[in-house]
Structure 1
Amino acid sequence: MEQKAEAAAAQAGGGREADSLVLHLEAQLEHLILTGELKPGERLNEIHLSARFGTSRGPLREAMRGLEARGLVTMVRNRGMYVRAISAEEALEIYDVRAAIFGLAGRILTDRVTDEMLEDLYARLAAMDALAAERDFEGYYHANLDFHERLMRFTGNGVLMAEYKSLVDKLHLCRVSSLLQAGGLAVSNREHREMVDSVASGDKYRAQEAFFRHVDRAKARFRHAAGQTPAEAAAPAAGARSPAQP
């Protein structure tokens, strides 16, 4: 009986280690995708990746399936797994959903905000103003991501945070392009200040509108960078390929 108990415990421990490895690999692959090292449409080479991470292909495949469930990679039959490519049309649809979720976040945050939270947010805005003045795109971009993540975390709503992160992950590369081409660092941070001011006012409807409007303006900047007019964005592209194809 004692030996059986020890064997069961060892098996459970091995299962936990395997799960931990898969989650670690998933996080590593996600990092490669979101930093652009693995680009949209690029095939995930299992042999190269397993050698890079020093692991077998089994856990690597499990990690890829996790990313597939989150919409970051896609399986192409008889060809393998590819980093998902998001079309301009799909990106605009994602922006619409993101705007609705972010607006809700502003409304929730207004009811929960504290003086300490506001102090933290205003300090971040000041730091981002300095980065914008220096035209430090790389620094501003990461500070911008941290700022939005902070706003979502302050809502205390785990479901909202998870849904928002899923949408942002899919737009990650698109947002780099649109922000840079639009030259909108200072403009973007003025919108951030409008959002924090609206939360500080205690008016949750004003906050909801400010948060929604920020994403809607980001959508307009993306559309401009993609070279689309509003009419073109609204019309389905004739013969467009599925965004799931590499």
Structure 2
Amino acid sequence: MLAQAIELLRDRSLPMLIEQEIERVILGGEYAPGDKINEQALALRFGISRGPIREALRSLDRTGLIDTIPNRGVFVRRLTAAQAAEIYDVRAALFALAGQCLAIRASAADVERLRGHVAAMDEAVARDDFETYITENFALHEAIVTRAGNATLATHYLALVKQLRLYRTRNLMLADSVQASNEEHREMVEAIAARDPARAYAAHFNHVATAKIRLMANHLT
């Protein structure tokens, strides 16, 4: 019975593990937007059959990271500027709500953690260290939405961030505005620290809305 239970658990968890690994590869830039994903190549890479690969790809299709095109195959999703702008609008609303919620319930430890991310980004800007800046930027946003006390909000927000990740990384690295962006982060965190939900809502909404403007400006240049 135990062996059967272990095998059942393995069968159920393997596609999830493969999904996480394919997602990591995509978000890490090994596959670019528009690239075709070869099931057989992935099966050989991971040393498994194609069944778990197909299941993982179906899940990634549902999250919006890939597109399955009948009679053509599976491709990394290529967002248009218009699609990215729409996602930013939804992100702004969700992030504003997260900031509002966290301003009500944040602990002293939460505030200290958020301030730590902002300080780390200040240091990264001073060193022209974009890689660290981007890592800390993602960590700050994730900390805010996961501590807001609304699991549904966090799930949808993080899914949107994954869809935008390649767009956002390129935008952050091209835009000469990381210092201004981190000042926006500082205002968000201080609004949370002040336990001011209205101020936090506005700061979080404006941060994402401004990021959208930067994205559109870079797209047009």
- Please state which band the TM-score falls in when normalised by the shorter chain: over 0.9
Q: How much has 1:10 moved relative to structure 2?
A: 4.6
Q: Which residue of 1 aligns with 2:90?
A: 97
Structure of greater Rg: 1
Per-residue deviation, 1:69: 0.9
Query: Among residues 165, 168, 192, which one is paired with 2:158 in the alignment?
Result: 165
Q: Which residue of 2 aligns with 1:130?
A: 123
Q: Which residues of structure 2 form unaligned runs of 5+?
A: none
Contact residue 121 and residue 147 of structure 1 kept, 8 A: yes
Tell me if the contact between 2:125 and 2:178 (Cα under 8 Å) persists in the aligned partners.
Answer: yes
| TM-score with structure 2 setting the length | 0.96
Counterpart residue identity of residue 20, structure 2: A
2:140 to 142, 147, 150: 147
- Aligned partners of 2:52 and 2:152: how far apart in 1? 27
Partner of 1:74, secondary structure, is strand
In structure 2, what is the equivalent of residue 191 of structure 1?
A: 184
**Does 2:118 match 1:120?**
no
Normalised by the size of structure 1, how large is the TM-score?
0.87
C-alpha distance in structure 2 between counterparts of 1:31 and 1:80, whole Å: 20
Q: CA RMSD in A?
A: 1.2
Q: Which of 39, 60, 63 is 1:67 aligned to?
A: 60
Letter in structure 1 aligned against 2:87: I
1:180 Cα deviation after fit: 1.4
Unaligned runs of 5+ in 1: 1-5, 229-246
Deviations 1:100-158 (A, max 9, x none): 00000011001101111111111221111000111101111111111111111211221
CA contact (8 A) 1:177 1:225 kept: no
SS at match of 1:226: helix
AA partner of residue 155 (structure 2): A
Shift of 1:202: 1.7
Q: Separation in 2 of the partners of 1:57 and 1:74?
A: 18
For 1:128, the aligned partner's letter is M
Q: Distance in 2 between matches of 1:75 and 1:116?
A: 43
Identity of aligned residues (%): 43
Between the two proteins, the alignment pairs up a number of residues equal to 221
For 2:135 and 2:117, the matched residues in 1 are separated by 12
Runs of 4+ in 1 over 2 A off after TM superposition: 9-15
State the secondary structure of the residue aligned to 1:38.
coil
The separation in 2 between residues aligned to 1:180 and 1:103, in whole angstroms, is 24
2:55 is equivalent to residue 47 of structure 1: no
